[in-house]
Structure formats: structure tokens, C-alpha cells
């Protein structure tokens, strides 16, 4: 049967490569519908590029291309792959993107030297368990497929640093994904997640995470554990609030919770495709609605490395004054929000005007600043602690935190107590013969308070032990000046306590502690 012109041209190039002993060979953009079987004779090849043809299949490979290290087959019309693909055991890079593959052969798992695998822009609905045998993979691109589930064996790819799962139909991730502790870049753009998969909490080396265009409603408290994040994209979800634990993302440089006229998706992956663009251009036009944020936690001001903050298309009327301390902030986008008139006017003028607006807010806030005081106590002492709580409230300038008064039904009390201690200006530790012998009292709340005390500026009063009877002060608290709040000294102690708290408030105002 006579062959067409592209086939004959390919055959001619193969013969030339055979004569020259070439180790690198390409048949790109030749309109090929089939490959000459003679290509299997190029046993010296290390690099083979067959991109941008019309190949629907590749011939059974006899295994004599055993030296091949790199194989590019992207932008063809491949429907299936031969099992003999698994014989190319020296492959380190394989690109099968932009084809029509619906399944992959189990023999793929035999390519155990692969470090880069690109399967993007196909029609894959399932992945073989043998994928987990590719334990040397560092980059895996599965974007633009029809995947609704991933195999647990994915968790064995512990050398992965880049994983692209964007443009699929995923609603969850396998628990084993938490084993990918070397992962630095994870793209989950345009899937069907309604919550952050729990397995993400273990990816502590993650630097870039894109979960835009999903159905998220909130960020859980454990999200603050991803302390190496530098880029976080969450636009086009339904997020209504941010956890105060976002403050722990100290390395975060880009936070995208809103949109502008367009959203530019950064290219994380370095597959060698300089000539061929994906079906997805990287620009996604979306309506102005980006999330449902009505307010931001003041703790966002702790993100000292933040350079870009995108909040367009939310429901914000104002922004936290704590943003005034972000000296590295270069871009702040607030478009398409119902901003109050003063902030809206400042936003039109630019970032410098917004920062001036925030400084004015800081000054006003400092004038009416109250002191947050956490009351750490055992339940057996609640009567006298409650009395002191009422006295503090009556002062007007003290905002005491007492679990019986502040905790609401259904709240995670451990999380709320941790947040209250972390945001407190002072912690008063009530000591009694009952409390110091109570299991967990000193060991938990007290240890947390002491840890936070170490972070406070030298010389500031933070921990105040207060004895309610003639108990022995625990050794761990003996470095702090304590007071006796019982017997004839009760009123005198209260006056001294107020004096100490007033000094603390003045210290805070003087130092402009924005984030409380």
C-alpha cells in the first residue's frame, strides 16, 4: 500500500539519522498519521520529539529504543498507548499532553526512572494504580482531564515537588496525598471542591497553592500550618470568612481572594513546550463576584512578607487597620466591593492614599483601644472569677475573656480558647489549691500562655498569677510577680492590678500594636 508524502519524508529523515548515528531526533509538525516502523532501528537515540502531528497510535515498540531518555508525543490524536511503552525503561521525561487518551496502560508503572510526566489535556477518567511505582517523579501534570477520583497509590510519589490537577472534576483527594511532604507547588484550579481536603495539612513544604474556581466556603484553622506558603490563589469560590490562623503564613507574598478584569494564572510547570500553547491560554474571564468576604481578620496584618493582596469582587465595606503595618505591600486590589466612601475615595487615588487612610484608622483605634484580658481558671473557682469579670467589664476599658461568657454553642472550645490566649494583651492565671491540682489546668492553658509570653516584648507585663487562697505557686510561674486576691488584701490587690493593666494598655498604645 503506497504511503503519503509526510510518511515518506519521515522515512527519509529516519534513514539520514541512521547513517549519522544521531542521538537526538525530531519529526515535529509533519502532519503524520502513522510512524514508519523503521523508527525502531534508531537504537542510539536519547531524545525523540514527535510533537504536533496527527498520530492516532504509535507502533508496538520492540524495546530496541532502550537508551531513550526523553520522549515528546504531545499535540497528536493518540487514543491508546501500547503496553510495550513500558519497555522504555530508561525514560526520564515523557510528554503525552494534548491527545485524546481515555486510559493508560498498566505498563506505565515500569518506567521507574521517570522524573517528569505530562498527561495534561486528554480525556482521562481513571489512572492506573501502577502510577504509584513512578517513585522518582518530581513533576506530574494531570490538568485538563476528566478525573473525578485519584488512586491511593499517588501517595507513594514522595519525590514530587510539582503537581498539577487543575481543570478536572475532583471533589476530594486521597488521604495518601499527605505523604507528599516534598511538594512545593499544587494546582487544584477549576475542580469541584467544597472544602479543603484534610490531607493538605501535612504538605508543610508547599510554597504555591491554587484552589481558585472551586466551591470553597471557608479556610479551616489548620490551614495556618502551611507556613512555607508564598503564593495562595482562592479567587472564584464562595469563601465567607478567613480563620485568624492565617497569621501563621509568615512567608506569604501573594494572596488572591478577589478578581480584577482578568485573572492571570501563573505557570508553575516547566515542561519543554516553547512552540506549542495549551488549549487554556492562562487568562480566565469571570464575573466580578469572586468570594463572599464581608470582613477580614485583623490577624492578616501579621503577613509581613505580603506584596500582593487581591480582594476585588467581594462584599467588603472596610479593611483591617492592621494592613497599615505591611511595609512590603505593593498591590492592593479592592475593586467591585461596597467600600465605605472614605476608603473608596482612597482606593481610586492609589495605594499611598489607602495606607494614609489606614494610618488614620490606627490613630482613632488607639484612642479607644481596650485591653484584652484572658481569665485562665479552673471551673471550681468560677464564682470569684466571675465576680472579677464583672468588675473588669464595669471599668469600661478592659475587655475580659471568660469561657462561660464568650463561648457559643457549637464552637470548637479548644480552638476558641487558643485564639483568645493568642490575641490577649494579658493573661491572668487564677491559682488555688483546687486549680493547681486539677489535671490539665497548668499543663495546657498555662503552657500555651507561657509560650506566648516568650514572644512578647521584653519588660511588658503579660502573665499575672493571682492567688485565690494560700496555695503554693507552681515552680514554672515563680519567675513572675504574683498577687494575693483573698482575705484583707483583696481590694488593695484589685487596685494594684488595675494599675498594672493600665500600664500595659499605655505600653500597647505607645508601640502601636495593630493586630490586637
pLDDT in tens, 292-321: 999 999 899 999 999 999 999 999 999 998
pLDDT for 275 equals 29
Q: Of 424, 421, 433, 444, give the one whose Cα is nearest residue 474.
A: 433
3-class SS of residue 489: helix
Which one is predicted more confidently, 277 or 227? Answer: 227
Q: Where in the chain is the domain with CATH 3.80.10.10?
A: 1-137, 171-270+281-366
**Crossing angle for the helix pair 490-511 and 382-395, to the nearest 10 degrees:** 50
**pTM (two decimals):** 0.75
Grid coordinates of 7: 510518511
Whether 475 shows a pLDDT value over 50: the answer reads: yes
Query: How far is 516 from 500, CA to CA, in rounded Å?
Result: 19
- Cα 214 to chain centroid distance, Å, stands at 14
Are the C-beta atoms of 398 and 502 separated by less than 8 Å? no
pLDDT for 77 equals 97
Average pLDDT over residues 35-46: 91
Are the C-beta atoms of 105 and 85 separated by less than 8 Å? yes
Grid coordinates of 336: 467591585
pLDDT for 282 equals 41
| Phi and psi torsions of 198, nearest 5° | -60, -30
State the DSSP code for 391: H
pLDDT for 183 equals 98
Which one is predicted more confidently, 283 or 359? Answer: 359
Q: Is the dihedral of CA 111, 117, 121, 127 positive or negative?
A: positive
Whether 406 shows a pLDDT value over 80: the answer reads: no
Are the C-beta atoms of 136 and 157 separated by less than 8 Å? no
Q: What contacts 490, CB < 8 A, 6 or more positions away?
A: none
pLDDT for 359 equals 87
Average pLDDT over residues 103-127: 97
Average pLDDT over residues 471-485: 87
What is the residue-averaged pLDDT of the chain?
86
Are the C-beta atoms of 147 and 165 separated by less than 8 Å? yes
For domain 369-511, give its CATH number from 2.60.120.960, 3.20.20.60, 3.40.630.10, 3.40.50.10140: 3.40.50.10140
Confidence of residue 438 (pLDDT cuts 50, 70, 90): low
Whether 281 shows a pLDDT value over 70: the answer reads: no
Q: Are strands 93-95 and 116-118 parallel, antiparallel or unpaired?
A: parallel
The CATH fold assigned to 1-137 is 3.80.10
| Phi and psi torsions of 153, nearest 5° | -60, -15
Whether 349 shows a pLDDT value over 70: the answer reads: yes
3-class SS of residue 306: coil
Q: Where in the chain is the domain with CATH 3.40.50.10140?
A: 369-511
Are the C-beta atoms of 131 and 156 separated by less than 8 Å? no
Which one is predicted more confidently, 349 or 379? Answer: 349
Q: Is the dihedral of CA 236, 242, 245, 248 positive or negative?
A: positive
Average pLDDT over residues 238-254: 93
Whether 512 shows a pLDDT value over 60: the answer reads: no
3-class SS of residue 94: strand
The β-bridge partners of 164 are: 141, 187
pLDDT for 1 equals 54
Burial string for 69-94 (b: 16+ CB within 10 Å, else e) reads bbbbbbbbebeebeebbbbbeebbbb
Confidence of residue 268 (pLDDT cuts 50, 70, 90): very low
Whether 284 shows a pLDDT value over 50: the answer reads: no
Q: Of 329, 283, 281, 282, give the one whose Cα is nearest residue 303.
A: 329
Average pLDDT over residues 452-458: 58
Confidence of residue 405 (pLDDT cuts 50, 70, 90): confident
Element at 399 (helix H, strand E)? strand 398-401
Confidence of residue 334 (pLDDT cuts 50, 70, 90): very high
- Cα 165 to chain centroid distance, Å, stands at 15
Low-confidence winner among 111-120, 148-157, 209-218, 503-512 (lowest mean pLDDT): 503-512
pLDDT for 261 equals 44
For the domain spanning 171-270+281-366, the CATH number is 3.80.10.10
Grid coordinates of 491: 481590694
Query: How far is 22 from 45, CA to CA, in rounded Å?
Result: 7
3-class SS of residue 428: strand
Q: What is the largest CA-CA distance in the chain?
A: 112
pLDDT for 452 equals 67
3-class SS of residue 78: coil
pLDDT for 462 equals 80
Q: Which residue is associated with the grid cell 518506567?
A: 111
Average pLDDT over residues 6-30: 94
Which one is predicted more confidently, 379 or 366? Answer: 379
pLDDT for 369 equals 78
Query: How far is 271 from 207, CA to CA, in rounded Å?
Result: 19
pLDDT for 516 equals 39
Q: Are strands 283-284 and 263-264 parallel, antiparallel or unpaired?
A: antiparallel
Query: How far is 60 from 37, CA to CA, in rounded Å?
Result: 9
Q: Is the dihedral of CA 353, 359, 365, 367 positive or negative?
A: negative
Q: Which residue is associated with the grid cell 490551614?
A: 223
- Condensed to tens digits (0 to 9), the pLDDT of residues 85-98 reads 999 999 999 999 99
Amino acid at each position: 500500500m503506497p504511503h503519503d508524502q509526510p510518511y515518506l519524508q519521515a522515512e527519509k529523515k529516519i534513514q539520514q539519522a541512521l547513517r549519522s548515528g544521531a542521538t537526538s531526533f525530531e519529526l515535529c509538525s509533519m502532519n503524520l498519521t502513522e510512524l514508519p516502523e523503521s523508527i525502531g532501528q534508531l537504537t542510539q537515540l536519547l531524545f525523540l520529539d514527535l510533537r504536533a502531528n496527527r498520530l492516532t497510535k504509535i507502533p508496538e515498540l520492540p524495546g530496541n529504543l532502550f537508551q531513550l531518555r526523553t520522549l515528546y508525543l504531545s499535540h497528536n490524536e493518540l487514543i491508546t498507548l501500547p503496553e510495550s511503552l513500558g519497555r522504555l525503561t530508561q525514560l526520564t521525561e515523557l510528554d503525552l499532553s494534548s491527545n485524546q487518551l481515555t486510559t493508560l496502560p498498566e505498563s506505565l508503572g515500569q518506567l521507574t526512572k521517570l522524573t517528569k510526566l505530562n498527561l495534561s489535556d486528554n480525556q482521562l477518567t481513571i489512572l492506573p494504580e501502577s502510577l504509584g511505582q513512578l517513585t522518582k517523579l518530581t513533576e506530574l501534570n494531570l490538568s485538563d482531564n476528566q478525573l473525578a477520583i485519584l488512586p491511593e497509590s499517588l501517595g507513594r510519589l514522595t519525590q514530587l515537588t510539582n503537581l498539577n490537577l487543575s481543570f478536572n472534576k475532583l471533589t476530594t483527594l486521597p488521604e495518601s496525598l499527605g505523604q507528599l511532604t516534598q511538594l512545593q507547588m499544587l494546582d487544584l484550579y477549576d475542580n469541584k471542591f467544597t472544602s479543603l481536603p484534610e490531607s493538605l495539612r501535612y504538605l508543610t513544604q508547599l510554597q504555591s497553592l491554587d484552589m481558585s474556581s472551586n466551591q470553597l466556603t471557608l479556610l479551616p484553622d489548620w490551614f495556618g500550618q502551611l507556613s512555607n506558603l508564598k503564593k495562595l490563589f482562592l479567587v472564584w469560590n464562595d469563601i465567607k470568612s478567613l480563620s485568624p490562623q492565617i497569621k501563621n503564613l509568615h512567608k506569604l507574598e501573594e494572596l488572591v481572594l478577589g478578581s480584577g478584569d482578568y485573572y492571570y494564572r501563573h505557570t508553575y510547570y516547566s515542561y519543554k513546550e516553547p512552540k506549542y500553547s495549551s488549549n487554556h491560554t492562562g487568562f480566565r474571564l469571570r464575573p466580578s463576584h469572586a468570594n463572599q468576604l464581608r470582613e477580614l481578620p485583623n490577624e492578616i496584618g501579621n503577613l509581613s512578607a505580603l506584596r500582593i493582596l487581591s480582594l476585588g469582587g467581594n462584599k467588603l465595606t472596610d479593611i483591617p487597620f492592621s494592613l497599615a503595618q505591611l511595609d512590603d505591600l505593593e498591590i492592593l486590589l479592592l475593586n467591585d466591593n461596597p467600600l465605605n466612601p472614605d476608603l473608596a475615595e482612597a482606593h481610586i487615588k492609589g495605594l499611598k492614599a489607602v495606607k494614609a487612610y489606614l494610618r488614620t484608622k490606627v490613630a482613632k483605634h488607639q484612642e479607644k483601644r481596650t485591653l484584652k484580658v484572658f481569665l485562665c481558671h479552673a471551673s471550681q473557682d468560677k464564682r470569684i472569677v466571675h465576680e472579677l469579670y464583672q468588675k473588669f467589664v464595669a471599668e469600661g476599658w478592659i475587655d475580659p475573656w471568660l469561657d462561660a461568657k464568650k463561648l457559643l454553642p457549637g464552637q470548637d472550645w479548644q480552638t476558641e480558647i487558643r485564639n483568645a490566649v493568642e490575641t490577649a494583651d494579658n493573661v491572668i492565671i487564677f491559682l488555688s489549691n483546687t486549680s493547681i491540682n486539677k489535671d490539665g489546668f497548668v499543663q495546657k492553658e498555662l503552657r500555651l500562655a507561657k509560650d506566648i509570653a516568650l514572644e512578647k516584648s521584653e519588660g511588658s507585663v503579660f502573665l499575672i498569677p493571682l492567688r485565690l487562697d494560700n496555695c503554693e505557686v507552681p515552680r514554672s510561674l515563680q519567675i513572675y510577680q504574683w498577687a494575693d486576691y483573698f482575705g484583707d488584701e483583696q481590694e488593695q490587690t484589685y487596685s494594684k492590678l488595675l494599675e498594672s493593666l493600665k500600664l500595659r494598655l499605655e505600653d500597647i498604645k505607645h508601640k502601636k500594636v495593630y493586630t490586637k
